[in-house]
Amino acid sequence: MRRCFFASVVACGTALSPLAEAGDVVLAQRHFEEGKRLLAANRVKAACERLAASVKEDPGLGARFKLAECRQRLGLLASAWHGYMDVASSSTERGQLDRERIARGRAAALEGKIERVVFVVRAVDLPGLVVLRDGQAVGRASWGASLPVDPGSFVVRAEAPGRAAFERRVVVAPGAGTTDVVVPELAPLAAASVPEAQGVATVDAKADTKARAKSDAAPSPSPPPASAAPADAEGDATVWTRGRGVAVAAGGVGLALTLGGAVLGMQAISKNDESANYCRGNDCSPRGTTLRNDALEAARMSTLCVTAGVAAVGGGVALWVLSPAKKAESGAISLTAAPTAGGVAVLATGVL
């Protein structure tokens, strides 16, 4: 239980921590100029690498537009389409209407040529089901939608608690049109722990038999009567027992987790609303896709934190109620051990 609370606190803290972003504008400009030179020399692949490096350092509109153009020449039409749509959205925000018009025109010209995939998920209502594409989550909002992809291959994986994972490699050929990626229902996991438990029980039974045999063979001395001290040598407990201390700690952790979950929930709503500026239906620019994935992740972490928080508060309340406010006063109780035919008998006498 403590491990679960600790893992939840760490996960929520990680989700709430801001990400530091840094870039070198001078280096970005060098990459940009080199990328344009390589593109003019028809060294398209090398040019795209330099332009991508420039965008990573400083995502300016000029570099992003040129990278989309480079990827179009390389045959990565889906990436080029996303790039043009991203530039168009950013240009709208900045009032650069000419650049927006050009970018949207380029994107529109590519729409009929782009390869697409549709994730056909059979068990959409399966609790905890996650679909991954090359390790990246495919949000539920994208299931059943026509998603632009570049030609090539990727690995699709589906997993859910208590179910066997599904995994396969999907190949998208140039000019393939739309490819359906069927994610079947996941089979329940087999109870593999049963034979192991039986084996342990057998070993324990043999060891117990040997121990009893040795005990029967050895003589049984008659121990003298002995008096036992009271069960709690520390005296009467106060209202603040150890159990109630743990209960208060669990309640505090639960409240913190619940608060963190609420904050993450608000972040999820905010990011999802912001993504609407970069998406048209289920077709999103890279910025829109990132925002939607961030919103889904924040929502998942919010659910985890709130669930763990409520469980912690409930456990704390239960532990507080079940922990006695004061231990029973110890009376004059004596314990006497005496041999019997089957072993040793312990007799308790006194007033409880």
* Residue 331, pLDDT score: 46
Residue ranges per structural domain of the chain: 2-113, 115-183, 242-322
* Residue 237, pLDDT score: 46
pLDDT tier, 316 (very low <50, low <70, confident <90, very high otherwise): confident
Judge whether 2-113 and 115-183 match in fold. no
Fold of 2-113: 1.25.40
pLDDT at 259 over 90: no
pLDDT at 222 over 90: no
pLDDT at 143 over 60: yes
Residue count (the chain): 352
Q: What is the mean pLDDT of the chain?
A: 77
Q: Who has greater pLDDT, 48 or 15?
A: 48
Asked whether the whole model's pTM tops 0.75, one would answer no
- For residues 287-315, average pLDDT: 81
The percentage of the chain sitting over the pLDDT mark of 70, rounded to a whole number, equals 70
CA distance 88 to 73: 19
Residue 28's alpha-carbon distances to 25, 82, 107, 351, in angstroms, are: 5, 21, 25, 86
CA count, 13 A, side-chain hemisphere, 261: 19
pLDDT at 169 over 90: yes
Dihedral sign from CA coordinates of 77, 80, 84, 89:
positive
Residue 107, both tokens: 């994107």
- For residues 307-315, average pLDDT: 83
- For residues 125-142, average pLDDT: 94
Burial class (CB in 10 A: 0-12, 13-18, 19+), 10: exposed
Q: Who has greater pLDDT, 293 or 128?
A: 128
Q: What stretches of the chain show up as alpha helix (H) in DSSP?
A: 2-16, 25-40, 44-57, 61-74, 77-94, 97-110, 193-217, 242-275, 286-322
- 3-class SS letters over 13-41: HHHHCCCCCCCCHHHHHHHHHHHHHHHHC
pLDDT at 348 over 60: no
Residue 207's alpha-carbon distances to 105, 153, 183, 201, 203, in angstroms, are: 79, 56, 49, 10, 6
Virtual CA dihedral for 113, 52, 135, 110, nearest 10 degrees?
A: -10
* Residue 240, pLDDT score: 60
Residues near 20 by Cβ (< 8 Å), separated by ≥ 6?
none
144 close to 121: Cβ distance less than 8 angstroms:
yes
* Residue 339, pLDDT score: 54
pLDDT at 22 over 50: no
- For residues 239-253, average pLDDT: 74
pLDDT at 108 over 70: yes
* Residue 194, pLDDT score: 41
pLDDT at 233 over 90: no
Virtual CA dihedral for 315, 317, 321, 323, nearest 10 degrees?
A: 60
Q: Which CATH class is domain 115-183?
A: mainly beta
Closest CA to 77 of 172, 145, 168, 165: 172
- For residues 18-23, average pLDDT: 44
pLDDT at 112 over 60: yes
pLDDT at 173 over 80: yes
Q: Who has greater pLDDT, 207 or 288?
A: 288
69 close to 77: Cβ distance less than 8 angstroms:
no
50 close to 43: Cβ distance less than 8 angstroms:
no
